[in-house]
Amino acid sequence: MSATEPGFGIYLHWPFCAAKCPYCDFNSHVRHDPPDQARWARALTAAIAHDAALVPGRTVTSVFLGGGTPSLMAPATVGAVIDAIAGHWRLASDVEITLEANPSSVEAERFRGYRAAGVNRVSLGVQALNDADLKSLGRLHNVEEALKAIGLARETFPRLSFDLIYARPKQTVEAWTAELRRALDFAADHLSVYQLTIEEGTRFADLHRLGKLVTPDEDTAADLYEATRGLLEAAGMPAYEVSNHAVPGAECRHNLVYWRYGEYVGIGPGAHGRLVLGDGRHATADEKVPERWLQRVETQGHGRTVDDLLTLDEQGDEYLLMGLRLAEGLDLARFETISGRALDPSRLADLTGHGLVEITPDGRLRATPAGFAILDAIVADLAA
């Protein structure tokens, strides 16, 4: 596979959490009774078989178990899912298999079980390295537990990433820089660093509306963003995507499938996919409510509720939206092939003239550092 080849990924969604974080708008659910692991393993493997029949003969370059909290899955459930994938498709020799984990649900024996099942990369939801902010973010772990989980992950898995959230209430650039430097002391070769956003339907949105939660203003948020990029680049972890930093060669291959507009299967409650079938590229989505998803799979063999054939314009807009998030940008020739159109030359010239995008000698369009700061506006301008 070439350096910028998208690959073929499998995303599996485990929807259950021990608690709902107040900032989270992901499809996650808290249940008083633990899920029947064997029943869920059967349903997930059945759904895998269904999609394998739709897109046979692919070579899987990445598997991502996301959530929710996949570290609440029994190692046997994870093993059954990975075995099912390997039974229906060929796994690349260097396949990346990532499992998301929360520090509060990390146990040494469970981690060893995941590793034995085939997981070779863990992404830890650390989010902050101070206890006061962890509490306000609704996290169930403290800093000591987070650092213990990081150490255990480094001992158990070949690859490790962890997430941090910045632009938290009352956060200063100085405090965030100190926290990020501490994170670097424990990081392996990848960090995901996200700006806190207020999402509708969350507890934080309610508090924000009432004036009880105040996030940094736009200028401070921009300063935090610049400080993040500068510090991590100086530490040898440049941003390869808006919110993701890695030592070169340690990028998350699964997320690159999305950003390079590759093909991926989405299985599990609320999971989305992009499948290339005989008539074109399809956007798929599964039933969001876990119990309904389970019932659908048990009665009809899959949990799919959405299967839309994308128009060329829709595909072009998606590739633009995803590709410009990458430092490498997108391939203009591939954009024309996907969308059946060229980007407006006058708009490209205007954005180039203002130093917001550039076209490389090998025909790639990418945002400049100044452009990344207003990427949404650039994408909207080019897609219009």
Residue-wise pLDDT for 329-384, tens only, equals: 999 999 999 999 999 999 999 999 999 999 999 999 999 999 998 999 999 999 96
What's the DSSP call for residue 359? E
The whole-number average pLDDT for the span 234-256 is: 97
Q: Count Cα atoms within 13 angstroms, Cβ side, for 281.
A: 18
Give mean pLDDT, residues 23-50. Answer: 86
Question: How far apart are alpha carbons 126 and 343 in whole angstroms?
Answer: 40
Query: Is residue 196 exposed (0-12), middle (13-18) or buried (19+ Cβ within 10 Å)?
Result: buried
Please name the residue that has the structure tokens 């956003």.
Answer: 197
Instruction: For the sheet with 90-101, list strands across it.
Output: 239-241, 244-246, 190-195, 159-166, 121-127, 90-101, 59-67, 8-14, 263-267, 272-277, 280-286, 304-309
pLDDT digits (tens, 9 = 90+) for 46-85: 999 999 999 999 999 999 999 988 999 999 999 999 999 9
Domains of the chain: 8-258 (3.20.20.70), 326-383 (no CATH)
Mean pLDDT confidence for 9-34: 79
Kindly give, in sequence order, each residue whose CB lies less than 8 Å from that of residue 178, ignoring residues fewer than 6 positions away: none
Q: State the helix-helix crossing angle for 143-156 and 173-186, rounded to 10 degrees.
A: 30
Q: What are phi and psi of 222, to 5 degrees?
A: -65, -40
Residues 154-166 have a mean pLDDT of 94
Taking Cα atoms as reference points, which of 44, 28, 91 lies closest to residue 63? Answer: 91
Three-state DSSP class for 245?
strand
Least confident of 58-62, 97-101, 143-147: 143-147
Average pLDDT value over all residues in the chain = 92
Q: What is the DSSP string of 281-296?
A: EEEEEE-SSHHHHHHH
Check the CA dihedral 345-351-354-357 and report its sign.
negative
Q: Which 8-state DSSP code applies to residue 343?
A: P
- Do residues 319 and 260 make contact, with C-beta atoms less than 8 angstroms apart? no
Lookup result for tokens 């692991």: 37
CA atoms of 367 and 149, how far apart (whole Å): 36
Q: What is the token pair recorded at 225?
A: 């963003």
Q: Please give the structure tokens belonging to residue 281.
A: 């590229």
Distance of CA 228 to the CA centre of its chain: 19
Paired residues of 63 in beta bridges: 10, 97
Rounded Cα gap, residues 367 and 325, in angstroms: 8
Q: Is residue 4 very low, low, confident or very high in pLDDT (cuts 50, 70, 90)?
A: confident
Res 20 pLDDT > 70:
no
CA distance linking residue 185 with residue 67, whole number of Å: 27
Is 268 within 8 Å of 12 (Cβ atoms)? yes
User: What integer pLDDT is reported at residue 39 of this predicted model?
Assistant: 98
pLDDT at residue 254 in the model: 98
Whether 208 and 215 have beta carbons less than 8 Å apart is answered as: yes
25 and 81 Cβ atoms separated by less than 8 Å: no
What pLDDT is attached to residue 26? 65
Residue 290 has pLDDT above 90, yes or no: yes
Q: Note the pLDDT of residue 17.
A: 83
Helix and strand element counts for the chain (H, E): 15, 15
Report CA Rg, the chain. Answer: 21
**Tokens encoding 146:** 């987070």
What is the pLDDT, as a whole number, of residue 98? 98
Amino acid letter, 82: I
Does 121 score more than 70 pLDDT?
A: yes
Rounded to an integer, the average pLDDT of 205-230 is: 84
Please say if the pLDDT value at position 122 is more than 80: yes
Band the pLDDT of 27: cuts 50, 70, 90.
low
Considering only CA atoms, which of 296, 300, 271 is closest in space to residue 286? 271
| Residue 213 confidence (pLDDT) | 72
The answer on pLDDT for 206 being more than 80 is: no
Q: What is the mean pLDDT of residues 150-173?
A: 93
